[in-house]
Amino acid sequence: MAETQAQPRHAELGLTDQDVLDMYRAMLLARAVDERMWLMQRAGKIAFIISGQGHEGAQVATTWPLRRNHDWLAPYYRSIASAITFGMTAEDIITAHLAKGDDVSSGGRQMPGHYGGAPYNIVSLSSPVGTQVLHAVGIAMGAWARGEDVVALTSYGEGTANQGEVHEAMNFAGVHRLPVIFVCENNGYAISVPLEKQVGGLSVAARAQGYGFPGVTVDGDDPLACYAAAKEAHERGRRGDGPTLIEARVVRLTSHSSDDDQRRYRDPAEVEALKQQDPLVGFGRQLRELGVLTDELDQQLRAEAKAEINEASRRAEARPEPDVSAAERHVYADGEA
Ligand SMILES: Cc1ncc(C[n+]2csc(CCOP(=O)(O)OP(=O)(O)O)c2C)c(N)n1
Ligand SMILES: [Mg+2]
Protein backbone atom coordinates (compact mmCIF):
# COMPACT_ATOMS: atom_id res chain seq x y z
CA MET A 1 0.00 0.00 0.00
CA ALA A 2 1.40 3.40 -0.96
CA GLU A 3 2.14 5.68 1.95
CA THR A 4 0.19 8.91 1.95
CA GLN A 5 2.51 11.90 1.89
CA ALA A 6 1.95 14.37 4.73
CA GLN A 7 0.91 17.73 3.36
CA PRO A 8 3.04 20.80 4.10
CA ARG A 9 1.70 22.79 7.04
CA HIS A 10 0.37 25.70 4.97
CA ALA A 11 -1.40 23.35 2.54
CA GLU A 12 -3.15 21.66 5.46
CA LEU A 13 -4.56 25.06 6.32
CA GLY A 14 -5.80 25.53 2.76
CA LEU A 15 -3.06 28.01 1.81
CA THR A 16 -1.26 27.76 -1.52
CA ASP A 17 2.44 28.47 -2.05
CA GLN A 18 1.40 31.77 -3.59
CA ASP A 19 -0.72 32.63 -0.51
CA VAL A 20 2.17 32.21 1.91
CA LEU A 21 4.49 34.14 -0.37
CA ASP A 22 1.90 36.93 -0.52
CA MET A 23 1.73 36.91 3.29
CA TYR A 24 5.50 37.19 3.46
CA ARG A 25 5.40 39.98 0.87
CA ALA A 26 2.85 41.92 2.99
CA MET A 27 5.11 41.52 6.03
CA LEU A 28 8.12 42.78 4.07
CA LEU A 29 6.18 45.78 2.80
CA ALA A 30 4.88 46.63 6.27
CA ARG A 31 8.44 46.53 7.64
CA ALA A 32 9.69 48.69 4.78
CA VAL A 33 6.94 51.29 5.40
CA ASP A 34 7.72 51.23 9.11
CA GLU A 35 11.46 51.71 8.65
CA ARG A 36 10.95 54.49 6.14
CA MET A 37 8.61 56.33 8.48
CA TRP A 38 11.21 56.23 11.28
CA LEU A 39 13.61 57.99 8.88
CA MET A 40 10.95 60.53 7.96
CA GLN A 41 10.22 61.13 11.63
CA ARG A 42 13.90 61.68 12.39
CA ALA A 43 14.05 64.04 9.41
CA GLY A 44 11.24 66.09 10.94
CA LYS A 45 8.62 65.21 8.34
CA ILE A 46 6.40 63.06 10.57
CA ALA A 47 5.42 64.11 14.10
CA PHE A 48 5.94 60.70 15.66
CA ILE A 49 5.80 57.02 14.78
CA ILE A 50 4.52 54.02 16.67
CA SER A 51 6.14 51.01 15.16
CA GLY A 52 4.65 47.63 14.28
CA GLN A 53 8.05 45.93 14.03
CA GLY A 54 7.81 42.45 15.51
CA HIS A 55 4.00 42.36 15.18
CA GLU A 56 3.87 41.86 11.40
CA GLY A 57 3.47 38.08 11.35
CA ALA A 58 0.53 38.10 13.75
CA GLN A 59 -1.09 41.06 12.02
CA VAL A 60 -0.87 39.75 8.47
CA ALA A 61 -1.96 36.26 9.47
CA THR A 62 -4.91 37.23 11.68
CA THR A 63 -6.22 39.67 9.05
CA TRP A 64 -5.72 37.19 6.21
CA PRO A 65 -9.02 35.23 6.56
CA LEU A 66 -11.09 38.43 6.47
CA ARG A 67 -12.91 39.30 3.26
CA ARG A 68 -11.67 42.63 1.91
CA ASN A 69 -14.35 45.30 1.39
CA HIS A 70 -16.83 43.07 3.16
CA ASP A 71 -15.69 42.35 6.72
CA TRP A 72 -14.51 45.16 9.00
CA LEU A 73 -11.28 46.02 10.77
CA ALA A 74 -10.97 48.17 13.90
CA PRO A 75 -7.19 48.15 14.37
CA TYR A 76 -4.78 49.97 16.68
CA TYR A 77 -1.75 52.17 16.41
CA ARG A 78 0.72 49.36 15.61
CA SER A 79 -1.46 47.90 12.84
CA ILE A 80 0.60 48.83 9.76
CA ALA A 81 0.66 45.23 8.54
CA SER A 82 -3.04 44.65 9.28
CA ALA A 83 -3.95 47.79 7.33
CA ILE A 84 -1.79 46.71 4.38
CA THR A 85 -3.32 43.23 4.42
CA PHE A 86 -6.79 44.76 4.35
CA GLY A 87 -6.05 46.93 1.32
CA MET A 88 -4.33 50.14 2.40
CA THR A 89 -1.34 50.97 0.25
CA ALA A 90 2.10 52.08 1.38
CA GLU A 91 1.29 55.44 -0.17
CA ASP A 92 -1.98 55.74 1.83
CA ILE A 93 -0.13 55.09 5.06
CA ILE A 94 2.71 57.50 4.43
CA THR A 95 0.28 60.15 3.17
CA ALA A 96 -1.68 59.85 6.42
CA HIS A 97 1.48 60.17 8.52
CA LEU A 98 2.50 63.25 6.56
CA ALA A 99 -1.01 64.65 7.26
CA LYS A 100 -1.56 65.60 3.63
CA GLY A 101 -4.83 67.17 2.56
CA ASP A 102 -6.10 64.25 0.51
CA ASP A 103 -5.14 61.52 2.97
CA VAL A 104 -7.73 58.73 2.80
CA SER A 105 -7.82 58.26 6.58
CA SER A 106 -8.90 61.73 7.64
CA GLY A 107 -7.74 64.41 5.23
CA GLY A 108 -4.77 65.14 7.46
CA ARG A 109 -6.74 65.42 10.70
CA GLN A 110 -5.82 62.27 12.56
CA MET A 111 -2.63 61.66 14.49
CA PRO A 112 0.05 59.31 13.14
CA GLY A 113 -0.78 55.62 13.66
CA HIS A 114 -4.55 56.13 13.46
CA TYR A 115 -5.06 53.78 10.55
CA GLY A 116 -8.39 54.06 8.80
CA GLY A 117 -10.11 54.38 5.48
CA ALA A 118 -13.75 54.25 4.46
CA PRO A 119 -12.94 52.58 1.10
CA TYR A 120 -11.29 49.72 2.97
CA ASN A 121 -13.80 49.12 5.81
CA ILE A 122 -11.10 50.15 8.28
CA VAL A 123 -12.38 52.22 11.19
CA SER A 124 -9.97 54.84 12.43
CA LEU A 125 -9.25 54.52 16.14
CA SER A 126 -9.65 57.06 18.87
CA SER A 127 -6.54 57.91 20.88
CA PRO A 128 -7.75 56.59 24.28
CA VAL A 129 -6.65 52.97 24.09
CA GLY A 130 -9.36 50.33 23.73
CA THR A 131 -12.19 52.38 22.26
CA GLN A 132 -11.82 50.58 18.92
CA VAL A 133 -12.83 47.34 20.64
CA LEU A 134 -16.26 48.81 21.32
CA HIS A 135 -16.49 50.01 17.74
CA ALA A 136 -15.90 46.48 16.44
CA VAL A 137 -18.61 45.08 18.69
CA GLY A 138 -21.00 47.79 17.52
CA ILE A 139 -20.23 47.01 13.88
CA ALA A 140 -20.89 43.30 14.50
CA MET A 141 -24.11 44.12 16.35
CA GLY A 142 -25.31 46.31 13.47
CA ALA A 143 -24.52 43.64 10.90
CA TRP A 144 -26.29 41.02 12.98
CA ALA A 145 -29.37 43.27 13.29
CA ARG A 146 -29.44 43.69 9.49
CA GLY A 147 -28.98 39.97 8.97
CA GLU A 148 -25.67 40.47 7.18
CA ASP A 149 -22.87 37.92 7.05
CA VAL A 150 -20.13 40.22 8.37
CA VAL A 151 -17.27 39.64 10.80
CA ALA A 152 -15.44 42.43 12.65
CA LEU A 153 -11.85 42.07 13.82
CA THR A 154 -10.31 44.39 16.38
CA SER A 155 -6.77 44.50 17.70
CA TYR A 156 -5.16 46.00 20.80
CA GLY A 157 -2.31 45.44 23.23
CA GLU A 158 -2.28 43.48 26.49
CA GLY A 159 -2.07 46.68 28.53
CA THR A 160 -5.23 47.87 26.80
CA ALA A 161 -6.88 44.53 27.59
CA ASN A 162 -7.22 45.82 31.17
CA GLN A 163 -9.35 48.81 30.20
CA GLY A 164 -12.95 48.70 31.44
CA GLU A 165 -14.44 49.12 27.98
CA VAL A 166 -12.57 46.09 26.67
CA HIS A 167 -14.23 43.92 29.33
CA GLU A 168 -17.61 45.52 28.59
CA ALA A 169 -17.16 44.92 24.88
CA MET A 170 -16.21 41.27 25.39
CA ASN A 171 -19.10 40.67 27.75
CA PHE A 172 -21.60 42.26 25.37
CA ALA A 173 -20.22 40.27 22.43
CA GLY A 174 -20.41 37.08 24.52
CA VAL A 175 -24.00 37.68 25.62
CA HIS A 176 -25.16 38.38 22.06
CA ARG A 177 -22.83 35.86 20.39
CA LEU A 178 -21.58 38.48 17.98
CA PRO A 179 -19.20 37.74 15.10
CA VAL A 180 -16.16 39.52 16.52
CA ILE A 181 -12.52 38.46 16.56
CA PHE A 182 -10.62 40.06 19.43
CA VAL A 183 -6.90 39.99 18.69
CA CYS A 184 -4.74 40.94 21.64
CA GLU A 185 -1.17 41.49 20.47
CA ASN A 186 0.71 40.76 23.67
CA ASN A 187 4.21 42.20 23.35
CA GLY A 188 4.95 42.06 27.07
CA TYR A 189 5.00 45.81 27.66
CA ALA A 190 2.61 48.72 27.98
CA ILE A 191 5.11 51.46 27.17
CA SER A 192 7.62 50.74 30.02
CA VAL A 193 5.40 48.57 32.24
CA PRO A 194 6.15 44.83 31.92
CA LEU A 195 3.47 42.16 31.67
CA GLU A 196 3.72 40.97 35.28
CA LYS A 197 2.85 44.46 36.50
CA GLN A 198 -0.19 44.86 34.26
CA VAL A 199 -1.94 41.49 33.70
CA GLY A 200 -3.08 39.56 36.76
CA GLY A 201 -2.77 35.83 36.03
CA LEU A 202 -0.51 36.71 33.06
CA SER A 203 -2.98 35.28 30.52
CA VAL A 204 -5.27 37.53 28.51
CA ALA A 205 -6.77 34.58 26.60
CA ALA A 206 -8.01 32.95 29.83
CA ARG A 207 -10.37 35.86 30.37
CA ALA A 208 -12.55 34.84 27.43
CA GLN A 209 -13.86 31.89 29.41
CA GLY A 210 -15.52 34.30 31.81
CA TYR A 211 -17.40 35.88 28.92
CA GLY A 212 -18.54 32.59 27.45
CA PHE A 213 -16.40 32.20 24.36
CA PRO A 214 -13.08 30.59 23.44
CA GLY A 215 -9.77 32.27 24.12
CA VAL A 216 -6.58 30.92 22.59
CA THR A 217 -2.93 31.82 22.98
CA VAL A 218 -0.81 31.58 19.86
CA ASP A 219 2.83 32.14 19.06
CA GLY A 220 2.64 35.51 17.36
CA ASP A 221 6.01 34.93 15.70
CA ASP A 222 4.48 32.02 13.80
CA PRO A 223 2.13 33.37 11.11
CA LEU A 224 0.71 29.95 10.26
CA ALA A 225 -0.34 29.37 13.88
CA CYS A 226 -1.97 32.82 13.92
CA TYR A 227 -3.69 32.16 10.62
CA ALA A 228 -5.10 28.83 11.85
CA ALA A 229 -6.59 30.52 14.93
CA ALA A 230 -8.02 33.44 12.96
CA LYS A 231 -9.48 31.20 10.25
CA GLU A 232 -11.31 29.19 12.87
CA ALA A 233 -12.48 32.35 14.62
CA HIS A 234 -13.76 33.77 11.33
CA GLU A 235 -15.68 30.60 10.54
CA ARG A 236 -17.11 30.54 14.07
CA GLY A 237 -18.33 34.09 13.72
CA ARG A 238 -19.95 33.39 10.35
CA ARG A 239 -21.66 30.28 11.71
CA GLY A 240 -23.33 32.40 14.41
CA ASP A 241 -21.30 30.77 17.18
CA GLY A 242 -20.04 34.10 18.50
CA PRO A 243 -16.72 35.74 19.28
CA THR A 244 -13.19 34.44 19.78
CA LEU A 245 -10.29 35.99 21.65
CA ILE A 246 -6.85 35.37 20.17
CA GLU A 247 -3.88 36.34 22.30
CA ALA A 248 -0.87 36.49 19.99
CA ARG A 249 2.42 36.54 21.87
CA VAL A 250 4.61 38.90 19.87
CA VAL A 251 7.78 40.90 20.36
CA ARG A 252 8.09 44.66 20.26
CA LEU A 253 11.38 45.14 18.45
CA THR A 254 11.50 48.92 18.88
CA SER A 255 10.87 51.40 21.65
CA HIS A 256 7.18 52.08 22.36
CA SER A 257 7.27 55.04 19.98
CA SER A 258 9.72 57.52 18.51
CA ASP A 259 9.28 59.54 21.74
CA ASP A 260 10.48 56.65 23.92
CA ASP A 261 13.85 55.03 24.64
CA GLN A 262 13.47 51.45 25.82
CA ARG A 263 17.10 51.27 26.94
CA ARG A 264 15.94 53.11 30.07
CA TYR A 265 13.79 50.21 31.25
CA ARG A 266 14.81 47.11 29.29
CA ASP A 267 17.98 45.10 29.72
CA PRO A 268 20.16 45.52 26.57
CA ALA A 269 20.59 41.71 26.50
CA GLU A 270 16.79 41.30 26.37
CA VAL A 271 16.53 43.78 23.49
CA GLU A 272 19.34 42.00 21.63
CA ALA A 273 17.70 38.60 22.17
CA LEU A 274 14.45 39.86 20.64
CA LYS A 275 16.06 39.92 17.21
CA GLN A 276 16.06 36.11 17.29
CA GLN A 277 12.27 36.29 17.38
CA ASP A 278 11.84 38.64 14.45
CA PRO A 279 8.85 37.15 12.58
CA LEU A 280 10.27 38.18 9.21
CA VAL A 281 13.37 36.08 9.84
CA GLY A 282 11.39 33.17 11.28
CA PHE A 283 8.78 33.10 8.52
CA GLY A 284 11.48 33.42 5.87
CA ARG A 285 13.22 30.39 7.39
CA GLN A 286 9.95 28.47 7.54
CA LEU A 287 9.17 29.21 3.89
CA ARG A 288 12.63 28.03 2.87
CA GLU A 289 12.08 24.79 4.77
CA LEU A 290 8.73 24.36 3.01
CA GLY A 291 10.57 24.79 -0.29
CA VAL A 292 8.52 27.87 -1.19
CA LEU A 293 11.22 30.53 -0.81
CA THR A 294 14.75 30.64 -2.16
CA ASP A 295 17.51 33.15 -1.41
CA GLU A 296 17.11 34.51 -4.92
CA LEU A 297 13.35 34.99 -4.57
CA ASP A 298 13.82 36.54 -1.13
CA GLN A 299 16.20 39.10 -2.58
CA GLN A 300 13.77 39.83 -5.38
CA LEU A 301 10.84 40.33 -2.97
CA ARG A 302 12.92 42.63 -0.76
CA ALA A 303 14.01 44.66 -3.80
CA GLU A 304 10.37 44.97 -4.87
CA ALA A 305 9.33 46.17 -1.41
CA LYS A 306 12.13 48.75 -1.48
CA ALA A 307 11.12 50.00 -4.92
CA GLU A 308 7.50 50.23 -3.81
CA ILE A 309 8.35 52.20 -0.70
CA ASN A 310 10.59 54.58 -2.62
CA GLU A 311 7.82 55.29 -5.11
CA ALA A 312 5.16 55.53 -2.36
CA SER A 313 7.24 58.04 -0.37
CA ARG A 314 7.94 60.14 -3.44
CA ARG A 315 4.27 60.29 -4.39
CA ALA A 316 3.05 60.89 -0.83
CA GLU A 317 5.47 63.76 -0.30
CA ALA A 318 4.33 65.39 -3.54
CA ARG A 319 0.70 65.46 -2.42
CA PRO A 320 -0.85 68.81 -1.42
CA GLU A 321 -0.94 70.07 2.15
CA PRO A 322 -4.45 70.52 3.63
CA ASP A 323 -6.08 73.77 2.57
CA VAL A 324 -7.11 76.10 5.37
CA SER A 325 -10.58 76.42 3.81
CA ALA A 326 -11.18 72.73 4.66
CA ALA A 327 -10.43 73.17 8.38
CA GLU A 328 -14.09 72.75 9.41
CA ARG A 329 -14.72 69.78 7.17
CA HIS A 330 -16.16 66.83 9.13
CA VAL A 331 -16.29 69.05 12.23
CA TYR A 332 -19.70 70.72 11.82
CA ALA A 333 -22.79 69.14 10.31
CA ASP A 334 -23.22 71.92 7.76
CA GLY A 335 -19.58 71.84 6.66
CA GLU A 336 -18.52 70.56 3.28
CA ALA A 337 -19.29 66.82 3.06
C1 LIG B 1 -7.08 55.42 28.08
C2 LIG B 1 -5.63 55.65 27.80
N3 LIG B 1 -4.72 55.53 28.79
C4 LIG B 1 -3.41 55.72 28.52
C5 LIG B 1 -2.99 56.04 27.27
C6 LIG B 1 -1.51 56.24 26.99
N7 LIG B 1 -1.01 55.04 26.30
C8 LIG B 1 -0.87 55.02 24.96
S9 LIG B 1 -0.28 53.56 24.43
C10 LIG B 1 -0.21 52.92 25.98
C11 LIG B 1 0.31 51.53 26.22
C12 LIG B 1 -0.61 50.48 25.78
O13 LIG B 1 0.06 49.24 25.88
P14 LIG B 1 -0.50 47.95 25.17
O15 LIG B 1 -1.98 47.95 25.22
O16 LIG B 1 0.19 46.78 25.74
O17 LIG B 1 -0.12 48.16 23.65
P18 LIG B 1 1.33 48.20 22.97
O19 LIG B 1 1.67 49.65 22.84
O20 LIG B 1 2.28 47.48 23.85
O21 LIG B 1 1.18 47.53 21.66
C22 LIG B 1 -0.64 53.85 26.90
C23 LIG B 1 -0.67 53.63 28.35
C24 LIG B 1 -3.97 56.18 26.25
N25 LIG B 1 -3.66 56.45 24.99
N26 LIG B 1 -5.28 55.96 26.54
MG1 LIG C 1 1.87 45.76 25.00
Q: How far is the CA of 274 from the centre of ligand 1 (A)?
A: 21
Which one of the ligands is nearest to 155 CA? 1
On whether residue 333 sits in a domain, the answer given is no
189 is catalytic: no
330 is catalytic: no
70 is catalytic: no
pTM of the model: 0.96
On whether residue 326 sits in a domain, the answer given is no
Q: How far is the CA of 326 from the centre of ligand 2 (A)?
A: 36
Which one of the ligands is nearest to 187 CA? 2
What pLDDT is attached to residue 5? 72
Number of domains in the chain: 1
- Given ligand 1 and candidates 129, 156, 258, which is best to mutate, with the most ligand atoms within 8 Å of its CB? 129
On whether residue 152 sits in a domain, the answer given is yes
Q: How far is the CA of 101 from the centre of ligand 1 (A)?
A: 28
On whether residue 272 sits in a domain, the answer given is yes
On whether residue 199 sits in a domain, the answer given is yes
On whether residue 327 sits in a domain, the answer given is no
Residue by residue, pLDDT tens for the chain (337 residues) are 555 678 999 999 999 999 999 999 999 999 999 999 999 999 999 999 999 999 999 999 999 999 999 999 999 999 999 999 999 999 999 999 999 999 999 989 889 999 999 999 999 989 999 999 999 999 999 999 999 999 999 999 999 999 999 999 999 999 999 999 999 999 999 999 999 999 999 899 999 999 999 999 999 999 999 999 999 999 999 999 999 999 999 999 999 999 999 999 999 999 899 999 999 999 999 999 999 999 999 999 999 999 999 999 999 999 999 999 888 877 777 655 4
On whether residue 334 sits in a domain, the answer given is no
On whether residue 70 sits in a domain, the answer given is yes
| Domain CATH for 117 | 3.40.50.970
| Residue 160 Cα: closest atom of ligand 1 | 15
Q: What is the 3-state secondary structure (H, E, C) of the chain?
A: CCCCCCCCHHHHCCCCHHHHHHHHHHHHHHHHHHHHHHHHHHCCCCCCCCCCCCCHHHHHHHHCCCCCCCCEEECCCCCHHHHHHCCCCHHHHHHHHCCCCCCCCCCCCCCCCCCCEHHHCECCCCCCCCHHHHHHHHHHHHHHHCCCCCCEEEEEECCHHHCHHHHHHHHHHHHCCCCEEEEEEECCEECCEEHHHCCCCCCCHHHHHHHCCCEEEEECCCHHHHHHHHHHHHHHHHHCCCCEEEEEECCCCCCCCCCCCHHHCCCHHHHHHHHHHCHHHHHHHHHHHCCCCCHHHHHHHHHHHHHHHHHHHHHHHHCCCCCHHHCCCCCCCCCCC
Q: Where in the sequence is the domain holding 293, given as residue range(s)?
A: 9-319
Q: What is the pLDDT of residues 196-245, one digit of tens each?
A: 999 999 899 999 999 999 999 999 999 999 999 999 999 999 999 999 99
**Residue list, ligand 1 pocket, CB within 6 Å:** 78, 127-129, 156-160, 185, 187, 189-191, 256
